[in-house]
Structures are given as structure tokens and as C-alpha cells.
Amino acid sequence: MATIQALVPRMRDICGAGNVIIDPLELRTYECDGLTSHRCVPALVVLPGSAAEVAEVVALCARAGVPFVARGSGTGLSGGALPHESGVLIVMSRMRAIVEIDPVSRRAVVEPGVTNLAVSKAAAPFGLFYAPDPSSQVVCSVGGNVAENSGGAHCLKNGFTVHHVTGLEIVTPSGELTWLGDGTGVTTGYDLLGAFTGSEGTLGIVTKIVVKLMPVPEVVHLLLVAYSSTAEGGRAVSDIIAAGVLPAAIEMMDALAIEAAEEAVHCNYPAGAGAVLLVELDGPAAEVEAELSTVRALCEAAGATEIQAADDPAERAGIWAGRKSAFAAVGRISPAYIVQDGVVPRTSLGAVLARIAELSAEAGIRVANVFHAGDGNLHPLVLYDDSVPGQAEAAEKVSGAILDACLEHGGSITGEHGVGVDKSRYMPRMFGADDLDTMQLVRCAFDPAGLCNPGKIFPTPRLCGEVPGHRRAPHPAVVAGQAEIFLHGYRTGLGSRGPPGARRRLPVAHRWYCRRRGAGS
Amino acid sequence: MPGADGLVPSFVATPSSTAEVSALLREAAAAGLAVVPRGAGTGLAWGAPPSRCDLVVDLRSMDQVVEHEAGDLVARVQAGATIGQLAAAFGSGSGSGQQLALDVPAEATVGGVVATGTAGPRRFRYGAPRDLLIGITVVRADGVVAQAGGKVVKNVAGYDLGKLFAGSQGTLGVITEVAFRLHPLPAAVAWVTAEFGPAERAGAVTAVAAAAGSPLVPSAVELDWPGGSQRPLRIGVLLEGTGPGVAERSRQMSELLAAPGGITSIAETAPARWGVLPSSVTVVRVSFWVSSLGPVLDAVAAAGADTGVRPAVSGPAGAGALYACLDPGTADEDAVRFMTALRERVAGALESGGPRGGVTVLTAPPAVLAACRDGTVPGLALMRAVKDQFDPDHRMFPGRFGGGG
């Protein structure tokens, strides 16, 4: 701590006195991101206003050997921006300029604090939009999107952040400003731009982003299809994909998720449905009309009990509100819940949903299912009552078992929320020691000192005095019998699980939603 | 000749599994051998030749389609499988009607395509191999086998090593298996072409931007300019979709291209030279923001006029890239003079304030390559650090990595 205090005057010189936070109460407001179960008060918070300031801040940290963590809007759901207790939290929210929009090239240059939706709003007058659309897009930052390689409901057709970023200006963990990528999308040499995107803030800090913009589709159609079960809905999804139709989005919600959404936003989904499917088709009018009739027929053949079509933007927004509110809405039907994020091959959706139902029944823990059915990305919401002893632990167990089920079917432990601190302990279930060791080579190339967002993604033990990173031999402390490596254990060695009730606090992204509803819009 | 570019290797190995590649690379590491991985050899001669070559690892015996689940639109294949094999396994004749959406030669291996980052005209819509790759298995220089990604289309667990190995040209390790995201084969395709006279270069530039920015969802927007300011330019736009949809979109696209003065036609087969470079002896890639296409074409013409070299220019202009191919008979010193002039002219044409593209020599005779190395590639210091971590002894395809070593 003494070291950190010594940095304060210099930090004030760099960022301005008003942009360096040392007051304990103010520091506390940065103790967590959207995953409120992990909390850690940073030693110092700085809010740089330019790339040059970020570079100076990082260089200062690097010279002093002080860890640093970058934070965007704080909407992440895996604790990727969890501060370090003896480190500097670098908050990017002052860097929110849209530097340039070139409609002919379909490119925008933005600073990292710009919100995702602000890019599309700025591009709209030119008939363009920014495709990645995470549910938190109103508040989440583009810099955070780059760190997490964010997707969204429409990534089924349009891809993820990594497919839409063509240049990054970054500050390396040693404090140097450099560009990755030539801004066009063409790669010369190693694709460091691709490797950096989705590295969860562990390879450096983004200070400028060149993104692709896409032409707004000529037409958009949304179908809301009701089924008596998720199995029937799942069959419709497979049939649509097998027919060679690639919708912009295919989302599914089960009965419990529908109930919650209905209670929260009165979205008027068909009463009594066991599952609803949202299928959005977009593109040239000449193609979409034909696709629409194909999809409608396939949905009917799979046993649809009701189909509603929404063509105008207001109707579509009404239907999407039910889906986008789902995470926050379960707060109305359960005192506490865990948002899980796992992926399975599309063809395993039915089997994994059945397994989730089994796990839920065995444990007596309710699970609401909301998912991106088109790409197999499940978001089971594990509901529990933290006032009942043992329920939090039981819910945690169900949540972990769901990830195991995903892995058994060849899936992934995270489709879009990231590993962060929350899932680093699951990494050894998905990857072997050699795989993780090889990933550490990349870390060592960018951040040999291990100061940039340490303790995230990888389950490496944090031994005293150790520089995290690649090792070719066992750690000296292990050889000496002084330490044990918990590679396959459950320790993240970081932060701490907050009290179970902490989960009741809505993540920032969802608080926005509640406010908007409260305002009557 | 199984080696590469005149060097005769001491050993050529044809492993049939990832485990065998691992064992080979452990031996090579112990003996300090320089290793050159190869597939079908279609891209082997592109770029700098190896400076040393003791062991060639020929991956053509690893040619299995490991897994293809049609409902998942995903395939897992060994690195030595050819693009033609994939088409047979899940293309139009197979009943699946799916494709790996890259325009690359049928004889090329998937490992080679990924390692070289090769894509064709449809890069405009589907991207390069890095964009379709969802999982990878590699063997490191020290023989350690590592996997990253998986076989699901959406996955953010761990670092994406696939991105790093795609385009790494065998300099970081050997790719032994990959998983790809597939796309449905379209029911119908059409090419809309527009010819512009030599004096109508500005019209062609307008047409490229209009096509690329239109909501008609073209799959490719190509420019073909056989060279010299006196030759006409051709814009080619590929549309994919349903029969009636493609017919209607072709008509609309034709109008769009005719507006700035193009003489248009619609065909169900590809125009001449589609996705084919006139020569692969000396090829320079110019990348740019599409709004700079006009100044870039001017720069190419001016560099040609300055040096008396007349390159044929073609490529995915709508995606911000063009290839300038020099006549195979071009003298080395003329090629170097042209490259130098082109770099200067293009740098002047591209706005500053951040990278807006640049000039990269993709392949050329060794003397030309050596004279045209570019030390200004963004992130070069980090690339060197990555190379040093993965291949500390610089034994993987020595000489090929542009950053030296």
C-alpha cells in the first residue's frame, strides 16, 4: 500500500487531481462489476482522459511493480474487471469520443468508453449500424466489448466483436502505445488483433478502436412462436438451420422465464406456453419474404401452438423486451439467482435441457432457461432463496453441474460472459495443463511481469512473490515442498465470494432497465 | 522436390497423427533441427523461403474429416485434408449442402489454408480463415500439443490461439487439426459485372463503394484492372441466395453499378479471371479504407508510370484490399523500385491519424523480398515477443517470419 500511496501525486499530475480517487467510500463504489458476488476494493482509482494519459499511468504502475486493472462500464458478468486489492483500477469512462465515422469505408473510430449503442446511433444517419449487440448495449462500453469479445442476440448471423474490429490502439502492459491491425481488416504478420480481442483485459488496455459498420438491413421480420415444450421448440431450431436458413437471431425461453418476463414487462407472450421461440430474419426484401414463409412452415410443422409476426419496429421492440428483460425479471420470482453461461452444439440442446431439468428436480432448485438457441448458448438462471440455509450452496452446485453437462456434450464453459474470476476454476475442466500453458506463452509475450489484470482467466495459483506466467519447470516453492498447486482445485486465490444475498443486487446493466421502466417508457 | 525453394531437407516425415507430429517435434527440438511444415504446397513458395530446412513435416497423411454434424454446421478436420475432400464430404453432392466459405484451390490442405490465411473474393462477406476457425490443435516447437477453442460456434473460454496460428505460416508451430464453422450452400448465385473505360476510373471507384455499402448483401465485390492507365476496369459482384431473391437483387445491383457509368451484365457463371491472380511471382497487397480507393488506384498508376512497371491489379476492393501482380519477366531492381515508389505513393494517399492500410509484399524473388522488408507493421515488437515465446530457438520455418528469425 505504501507503494501505491507514493504513486498518488504522480497520478494526479498525469490525470488531474479530480480524476484520482483515494477516498475509501468512493473507492468502494468500484468494488465489483456486473457480477456482484465477487468484491474487492481497489487501492486507487484513476480516470485518464486520453491514450497518452493511460500510457503514462500504466508505465508508472509497471515501473513500480503495481498491478492494474482496466474497467469500462462495469457491466461484465464474470468479474473480469474485479479490482486488485493492492492495485490501480483504470476507469476508461472519460474516454468516450466518437473520433470518426467514414460512411463510405463503413468504419468508425471510437474511444473505449463509448457505449455500444452510441456507435449504432452515430452511424444511423448514414444507414449503417454496429452489429455486436450485447443485451447491456445501452451502457456497456466498446472497450469492454473488445476485452470480452462480446456477442449478443444477433451474433448468430453477424459474428462477434472480433469479426467487427479492424484496428486497436493499445497501451501494452509496459506502458507503450501501439496499434494492432492496419485498420482495414487485412492482417500482416501475426493476428495480434484477433488474439487480443477477448483476452479479458489481460494483455493490455485498449485506447482506440476501429470498427466495421454494416448497412442497415432492408427489412426485418420477427416471429414469436409458442410451443408446449422446449423439445418442440428445439426441433424447430434444428429444422430451420438444416433448411439452410440463417436467421439474424433465434432465441428461446422456457415456461419459468416466460412467467418472470410476463410479470416484469407484460410482454404478452402466449399464455400457458411451455416455450417461446423468437426468430428474427433480416436482409434484402427479395430474400427475406421467401425465408419467412419457409421458417413459418417449419415452425408449424414442429408443433407451434401460436405464431405472432411483428414487422414494425415498435411491435418488435415489445417482443424483444420480454427476452432482454429476462435476466433481471427472474429477480421478481426468486429472492436470489445465478446467471449461468454455457454453450453446447446446437444438436445437443435437447439433451442438455433434459439434463438441466433432471439436475433441477434432484436438487429442488428451480432453473429458468433463456438462451440463444441458434448458436447453442444457454443462459440457465438458477433460482434460490438465500434465507434458506444450504440453498446458495445447492444452487452453486447445480450451476456447476450445468457446465459439466455442457462440456460432456463438447461445449464450452462460456459463450459470451467470459471467464474472469468467476470461471477460472472451471478452465482445467475444459482445457488440459498443456493447453493452459500454451495460452500463458501469449501472456508472457505481452505481459512478462504479470501486472495486467492478474488472476483472471487462468487458474494458476498466486504464490507469494511469484510472477504469474509461463514456467518451464515446477515452481521453486513447489519443489521445495513449501507450496501446493491447486491446478484442479476450486481456489481462484482472488477476491472472495460475497454473502449469498449479494446476488440479489441487480447488475448495473439491469438496473438501467428497471429505471427505464420506472420512467414509464 | 519435397522441401522448399531449393533447400534439400535432411528428413521428410509424413506423420499420420497429432501424437506422431508431437514425437517428431520433440526429436527435432532435441537435435536442434529447423522444421518446415507443409501441406499440398500450393502456398509454400509464397513469402520468404526458409533459411534453413532440416526436417519437412508433410501433413498430407493426416487427411481425415474427424467429425461433421450437419445440424451444427460445424466440421472438425485434420490439417492434411484438402478443400476438395471437404466439398465431397459435406458439399452439394453429399446431401448436407454445406460449405467452408473460402475460395481456395481444391487441392490445398485446410492446414495450409489456415496457416497462410488464404481467402478469395468472398472474404468480403465471410472473412478469412481466422473468421471461420472455431477450434485448433497445434504442436509447439518443443513438441507440446495444445488445443484452443472447441467445436461450438460461440465460445470465449481462454485465449484464442487459433487467431494467432491463422496466417502464422508455420512459424509458431504445426497445425494438426482444425474445427470450422460452415455455411449452407446457396440455392442460387449470380455475378453482376460492370465495365468502365480507362477514362472512367472515378466511376468504377463510386461503383465499388456503392456495391460494398448496399443492403443487397453482396458476397464479393471485386475489381479487376489488367494494368496500365489505358486499360478498362471491371467490377464484379457476387450475389448468393434463393433463385428469385438472387434474380431480383442482381437487377437492383446492376442498376447500382450502371448509375456511375458502368456497362453491366448478369451471369450465372463467374467472369474470366474471377479470384485468380494473373501471376504469383511478385505480388504486392495494398490495403486501404474504401473511401481511399480512388487515391490508391492513382498511386498504383503513378508508381507504375514512375518506374515503367505495369502491374495487373485485382482483388476484393470492396473489402479494402487489392493485389498488384508484376509481370514475371520484371527485373528485380525494377520490382524494388516499383515497390518503393508504391509505398511512398500509397502512404501519401492514405490519411494519417491511425493505420488506414498499407503495402505488403506477399511474395517476390528472394532479393526483392529482402530489399522490401517492412519494419513499420503495427505491433511488430509484440509479434517478435510472441515468436520468441513459441519458438525461442527460431527453428520453425526459419526465415519466413517477417519480423526476422
- Whether residue A475 contacts residue A485, with contact meaning beta carbons closer than 8 Å, is answered with yes
Helix (H) or strand (E) holding A51: helix A51-64
Query: Residue B5's pLDDT is what?
Result: 56
Facing residue for B72 by CB, picked from A100, A176, A346:
A346
C-alpha cell at A315: 411491435
Least confident of A283-287, A350-354, B372-376: B372-376
- Tell whether A179 and A317 lie within a shared domain: no
pLDDT at residue A496 above 50?
no
Report yes or no: A446 at the B interface, CB cutoff 8 Å. Answer: yes
A384 occurs within a structural domain: yes
Query: Residue B212's pLDDT is what?
Result: 98
Beta strands in B104-172 (DSSP E): 133-140, 145-149
Report yes or no: B92 at the A interface, CB cutoff 8 Å. Answer: no
Facing residue for A189 by CB, picked from B138, B249, B403:
B403
For B:2-31, CB contacts with A below 8 A are none
Q: What is the pLDDT of residues B40-59, one digit of tens each?
A: 999 888 888 899 999 999 99
C-alpha cell at A253: 425461453
With CB atoms and an 8 Å threshold, state whether A242 touches B382.
Answer: no
Question: How far, in Å, CA of B382 to CA of B403, rounded?
Answer: 10
How many Cβ atoms from other residues are within 10 Å of residue A502's Cβ? 16
Contact residues for A330 (Cβ-Cβ < 8 A; gap 6+): A256, A257, A260, A337, A368, A381, A383
Mean pLDDT of A261-274: 89
Report yes or no: A215 at the B interface, CB cutoff 8 Å. Answer: yes
Report yes or no: B70 at the A interface, CB cutoff 8 Å. Answer: yes
For B:135-174, CB contacts with A below 8 A are 138, 140, 144-148, 150-161, 163-164, 166-168, 172
pLDDT at residue B2 above 70?
no
- Whether residue B124 contacts residue B212, with contact meaning beta carbons closer than 8 Å, is answered with yes
* B171 CA: distance to closest CA in chain A (Å): 10
Facing residue for A439 by CB, picked from B97, B159, B248:
B159
* The domain boundary residue, chosen from A157, A180, A215: A215
Give whole-number Cα distances, A303 to A155, A290, A354, B400, in Å. Answer: 27, 21, 19, 58
Confidence of residue A476 (pLDDT cuts 50, 70, 90): very low
Q: Half-sphere exposure of residue A356, counting CA atoms within 13 Å on the CB side?
A: 29
pLDDT, mean over chain A: 87
Share of chain A above pLDDT 90, in %: 77
Q: What is the pLDDT of residues A221-234, one digit of tens each?
A: 999 999 999 999 99
C-alpha cell at B369: 523480398
Give whole-number Cα distances, A38 to A331, A369, A461, A507, in Å. Answer: 19, 24, 18, 12
- Tell whether A295 and A173 lie within a shared domain: no
A485 occurs within a structural domain: no
- Tell whether A164 and A287 lie within a shared domain: no
How many Cβ atoms from other residues are within 10 Å of residue A194's Cβ? 25
**For residue A183, what is the domain's CATH number?**
3.30.465.10
Query: Residue A475's pLDDT is what?
Result: 41
Report yes or no: A180 at the B interface, CB cutoff 8 Å. Answer: yes
A75 occurs within a structural domain: yes
Query: Residue B6's pLDDT is what?
Result: 66
**Of B334, B383, B339, whose CA–CA distance to B361 is shortest?**
B339
Q: What is the pLDDT of residues B234-244, one digit of tens each?
A: 999 999 999 99
Please give the radius of gyration of chain A, using alpha carbons only, rounded to the nearest integer. Answer: 23
- Tell whether A273 and A186 lie within a shared domain: no
* The domain boundary residue, chosen from A215, A242, A260: A215
* B370 CA: distance to closest CA in chain A (Å): 16
Facing residue for A345 by CB, picked from B117, B151, B241:
B151
Give whole-number Cα distances, A219 to A282, A289, A292, B31, B250, in Å. Answer: 6, 9, 11, 62, 17
For B:290-329, CB contacts with A below 8 A are 290-292, 319-321
- Tell whether A43 and A8 lie within a shared domain: yes
Q: What is the pLDDT of residues A335-386, one digit of tens each?
A: 999 999 999 999 899 999 999 999 999 999 999 999 999 999 999 999 999 9
Query: Residue B3's pLDDT is what?
Result: 44
**For residue A48, what is the domain's CATH number?**
3.30.43.10
For A:282-311, CB contacts with B below 8 A are 283-284, 286-287, 290-291
* B140 CA: distance to closest CA in chain A (Å): 8
For B:221-260, CB contacts with A below 8 A are 241-242, 244-245, 247-249, 252
Domain that holds residue A273: 219-408
With CB atoms and an 8 Å threshold, state whether B389 touches A286.
Answer: no
Facing residue for B72 by CB, picked from A160, A347, A414:
A347
**For residue A391, what is the domain's CATH number?**
3.40.462.10
With CB atoms and an 8 Å threshold, state whether B390 touches A441.
Answer: yes
- Tell whether A277 and A353 lie within a shared domain: yes
Least confident of A453-467, B317-331, B366-380: A453-467
DSSP state of A464: T
With CB atoms and an 8 Å threshold, state whether A186 touches B321.
Answer: yes
Facing residue for A215 by CB, picked from B127, B130, B215:
B215
> Regarding predicted confidence, which is higher, A30 or B377?
A30
Q: What is the pLDDT of residues B134-174, one digit of tens each?
A: 999 999 999 999 999 999 999 999 999 999 999 999 999 99
- Whether residue B393 contacts residue B141, with contact meaning beta carbons closer than 8 Å, is answered with yes
Q: Is the dihedral of CA B107, B111, B116, B121 positive or negative?
A: positive
Residues in chain A closer than 8 A to B69 (CB atoms): 345, 347
Write down the ipTM of this complex.
0.96
Confidence of residue A495 (pLDDT cuts 50, 70, 90): very low
Burial code (b: 16+ CB inside 10 Å, e: under 16) for A92-104 equals: bbbbbebeebbbb
Facing residue for A290 by CB, picked from B151, B168, B245:
B245
Helix (H) or strand (E) holding B384: helix B380-390
Question: How far, in Å, CA of B198 to CA of B214, rounded?
Answer: 25
Report yes or no: A125 at the B interface, CB cutoff 8 Å. Answer: no
Report yes or no: B122 at the A interface, CB cutoff 8 Å. Answer: no
Query: Which ranges of A210-306 does DSSP label H, i.e. alpha helix?
Result: 230-242, 255-265, 285-301
Q: What is the pLDDT of residues A79-133, one digit of tens each?
A: 999 999 999 999 999 999 999 999 999 999 999 999 999 999 999 999 999 999 9
A298 occurs within a structural domain: yes
- Tell whether A252 and A399 lie within a shared domain: yes
With CB atoms and an 8 Å threshold, state whether A182 touches B166.
Answer: no
Mean pLDDT of A153-181: 96
- Tell whether A35 and A135 lie within a shared domain: no
pLDDT, mean over chain B: 94
- Tell whether A306 and A331 lie within a shared domain: yes
- Tell whether A84 and A200 lie within a shared domain: no
- Whether residue B242 contacts residue A287, with contact meaning beta carbons closer than 8 Å, is answered with yes
Confidence of residue B270 (pLDDT cuts 50, 70, 90): very high
Query: Residue A515's pLDDT is what?
Result: 28
Among B156, B189, B352, the residue to mutate for chain A (most A Cβ within 10 A): B156
A245 occurs within a structural domain: yes
With CB atoms and an 8 Å threshold, state whether A347 touches B130.
Answer: no
- Tell whether A290 and A310 lie within a shared domain: yes
> Regarding predicted confidence, which is higher, B7 or B189?
B189
Q: Tell the residue number behind the cell numbers 506423420, with chain if given.
A: B15
Among A186, A200, A219, A471, the residue to mutate for chain B (most B Cβ within 10 A): A186
Query: Residue A396's pLDDT is what?
Result: 94
- Number of compact structural domains in chain A: 3
A413 occurs within a structural domain: no
Report yes or no: A24 at the B interface, CB cutoff 8 Å. Answer: no
Query: Residue B405's pLDDT is what?
Result: 41
Share of chain A above pLDDT 70, in %: 88
Residues in chain B closer than 8 A to A428 (CB atoms): none
Q: What is the pLDDT of residues B73-106, one digit of tens each?
A: 999 999 999 999 999 999 988 888 999 999 999 9
Query: Residue B61's pLDDT is what?
Result: 98
Residues in chain B closer than 8 A to A106 (CB atoms): 212-213, 290
A472 occurs within a structural domain: no
How many Cβ atoms from other residues are within 10 Å of residue A71's Cβ? 28
For B:334-353, CB contacts with A below 8 A are 353
Query: Residue A36's pLDDT is what?
Result: 87
Report yes or no: A231 at the B interface, CB cutoff 8 Å. Answer: no
Query: Residue B227's pLDDT is what?
Result: 77
Confidence of residue B7 (pLDDT cuts 50, 70, 90): confident
A492 occurs within a structural domain: no
**Of A298, A372, A370, A375, whose CA–CA distance to A339 is shortest?**
A370
Query: Residue B336's pLDDT is what?
Result: 96
Question: How far, in Å, CA of A399 to CA of B271, rounded?
Answer: 55
Query: Which ranges of B192-263 does DSSP label H, i.e. alpha helix?
Result: 201-212, 243-258
The SS3 call for residue B380 is helix
Q: What is the pLDDT of residues A305-341, one digit of tens each?
A: 999 999 888 999 989 988 888 888 888 889 999 999 9
Query: Residue A361's pLDDT is what?
Result: 97
**Of A422, A418, A380, whose CA–CA distance to A401 is shortest?**
A380
Among B68, B155, B192, the residue to mutate for chain A (most A Cβ within 10 A): B155
pLDDT at residue A159 above 90?
yes
* The domain boundary residue, chosen from A363, A391, A408: A408
Query: Residue A490's pLDDT is what?
Result: 24
Residues in chain B closer than 8 A to A441 (CB atoms): 386, 389-390
Domains recognised in chain B with CATH numbers: 1-185 (3.30.465.10), 188-267 (3.30.70.3450), 282-371 (3.30.1370)
- Tell whether A380 and A394 lie within a shared domain: yes
Q: Is the dihedral of CA A377, A161, A283, B319 positive or negative?
A: negative
With CB atoms and an 8 Å threshold, state whether B289 touches A100.
Answer: no
